[in-house]
């Protein structure tokens, strides 16, 4: 049986917010953590789970993630599991921030099985004038929730590729949130058809 690999691609700049979340998820999954620029496409042949994440810059995930994915051939019939994670000043809008990346992943042959977002210290643009948003985030609660998110992916059996033609396990998505010290962090989690019945 060929060796399998869990890989997280993370682009974290400015304050290192997303790198903290990436390390927490990687430790829970036993995954390798790398930047997009250092990962070859050939290494994906043994990858059975891909995570992609960054901060959010003017409403968009980091361009390095898009550039890396654009280099892959389109393969809408493939079913390699993938998930998205991010930190931002306004994590309640993560479904919108993640949207373009989610669509590109699907086009490139990935089945998006879950999404995670939490607040991160944000001084982008004019925010630095007011001291920024979410100064204490990600905090321990955010890191623990990131680990719990990763554990759920494994527990629910979502880290195995599904054969072509199988119905997706992420038929609908919902957002759950917990308040911590006046801030909210979010998990956009997949909900299977079975749970809807």
Asked which of 58-62, 149-153, 168-172 is least confident by mean pLDDT, the reply is 168-172
Task: Please compute the mean of the pLDDT values over residues 126-148 and round it to a whole number.
Answer: 73
Does 196 score more than 80 pLDDT? Answer: no
pTM: predicted TM-score of the whole model, two decimal places: 0.75
Higher confidence at residue 131 or residue 34?
34
Give the residue among 114, 177, 174 at the shortest CA–CA distance from 145.
177
Residue appearing with tokens 């309640």? 92
pLDDT in tens, 35-86: 999 998 888 878 899 999 998 888 889 999 999 999 998 887 778 899 999 9
Residue boundaries of the structural domains of the chain: 5-196
Task: Please compute the mean of the pLDDT values over residues 12-39 and round it to a whole number.
Answer: 90
Give the residue among 69, 135, 146 at the shortest CA–CA distance from 104.
69
Out of 7-16, 24-33, 118-127, 154-163, give the one with best mean pLDDT.
24-33
User: Which of 75-110 are b and which e, b meaning 16 or more Cβ less than 10 Å from the residue's Cβ?
Assistant: eeebbbbbbbbbbbbbbeebeebbeebbebbeebbb
Helix 94-107 and helix 63-70, axial crossing angle in degrees, nearest 10: 10
d(CA 156, CA 173): 15
Position 84 scores a pLDDT of: 96
Adjacent-strand bridge partners of 182: none
d(CA 22, CA 35): 11
Task: Tally the C-alpha atoms within 13 A of residue 114's C-alpha that lie toward its C-beta.
Answer: 25
Q: In the CATH scheme, what is the homologous superfamily, with its name and number, of domain 5-196? A: Flavodoxin domain (3.40.50.360)
Position 187 scores a pLDDT of: 56
Out of 150-154, 174-178, 191-195, give the one with best mean pLDDT.
150-154
Backbone phi, then psi, for 161, in 5-degree steps? -65, 145
Position 86 scores a pLDDT of: 93
Rg for the chain, CA atoms, rounded: 16
């Amino acid at each position: 049986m060929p060796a399998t690999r869990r890989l997280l691609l993370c682009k974290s700049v400015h304050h290192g917010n997303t790198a903290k979340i990436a390390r927490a998820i990687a430790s829970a999954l036993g995954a390798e953590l790398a930047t997009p620029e250092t990962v070859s496409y050939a290494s994906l042949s043994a990858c059975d789970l891909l995570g992609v994440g960054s901060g959010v810059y003017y409403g968009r995930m980091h361009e390095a993630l898009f550039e890396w994915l654009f280099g892959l051939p389109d393969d809408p019939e493939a079913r390699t599991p993938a998930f998205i994670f991010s930190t931002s000043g306004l994590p309640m809008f993560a479904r919108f921030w993640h949207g373009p990346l989610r669509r590109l992943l699907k086009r490139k042959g990935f089945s998006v099985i879950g999404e995670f977002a939490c607040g991160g210290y944000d001084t982008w643009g004019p925010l630095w004038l007011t001291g920024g948003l979410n100064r204490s985030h990600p905090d321990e609660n955010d890191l623990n929730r990131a680990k719990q998110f990763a554990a759920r992916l494994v527990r629910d059996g979502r880290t195995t590729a599904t054969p072509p033609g199988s119905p997706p396990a992420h038929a609908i998505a919902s957002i759950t949130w917990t308040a911590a010290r006046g801030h909210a962090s979010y998990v956009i989690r997949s909900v299977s058809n079975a749970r809807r019945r």
